[in-house]
Amino acid sequence: MLTKLLVLLLTAAVLLGCDSDDRPPSDVGSPADGSVPPTGGTGGAGTGGGSPGGTGGGADDDAGSLGDDAGSANGTDAAAADAGPVLPDAGVDAFDGMCANSRWSTVSDACWSCWCTTCAATLNVATRRSMEIFECMFDKDLLVGNAFELVCEARAGQQECVGTSTDDWNKLVSFDQCLMTLPPLLKFRHCETECGVTYPGDVCTRYP
């Protein structure tokens, strides 16, 4: 009986010793204040659902910044929309198809008055965009003073000024044809003097 008791005590002592040696200490690496260290990456998942191992709540902060920026942009767009329609160039009237009442081109009053007096029917159809094309051709010296070179003028205008505004270009051509053909025709075009029209003479050289 005594022998069995000694054996049981020895066995219990051996088991307790093994369990104590194999179990890792629970306090290793714990902060002195007893708080539990994070288990994620360098920054954990963050309080706002940031990616594991990322910078914590930075994703939420960025999302908030983007939201603020978007709100500011929307506010700017809304303000622009409230400002009303886009106005024509300074000193230029909006197109209304009535050249006697409005001037939808940057040409001088004397030029416009001559155009309207001479070719009102076709000028009233030529839009503001048509006039922009004509103004572009004036600025880039693309007009010709010879009927045989009109093909070069058309090529130059389409290449430099028209873009995709084909319909507006056709309306301008109709107006310009009136200026070139309405009798009595003392110059190549009506209103050359009033509009300060000059012909460089090299359009076909530049746009063969």
Is residue 100 assigned to a domain? no
The predicted structure's pLDDT at residue 10: 43
pLDDT in tens, 55-91: 444 444 444 443 444 444 344 344 333 333 344 455 7
Structural domain includes residue 156: yes
The range of the structural domain enclosing residue 178 comes to 109-194
In a domain, 123, yes or no: yes
The pTM of the full predicted model, rounded to 2 decimals, is 0.58
Q: Does residue 130 form part of some domain?
A: yes
Residue 149 in any domain: the answer is yes
**Chain-wide mean pLDDT for the chain?**
72
pLDDT score, position 185: 86
- Tokens found for residue 33: 């204040």
Stretch 137-166: mean pLDDT: 96
* Exposed/middle/buried for residue 107 (C-beta within 10 Å: 0-12, 13-18, 19+): buried
| Tens-place pLDDT, residues 105-127 | 999 999 999 999 999 999 999 99
How many domains, the chain? 1
Q: What is the pLDDT of residue 90?
A: 55
Q: With bands split at pLDDT 50, 70 and 90, how would you rate the model's confidence at 18?
A: very low
Rounded to 10 deg, the angle between the 128-139 and 166-181 helix axes is 70
The pLDDT of residue 205 is above 70: yes
- With tokens 């009136």, the residue in question is 178
Beta strand ranges found along the chain (DSSP E): none
Query: Residue 88 has what pLDDT?
Result: 45
Q: Is residue 6 part of a domain?
A: no
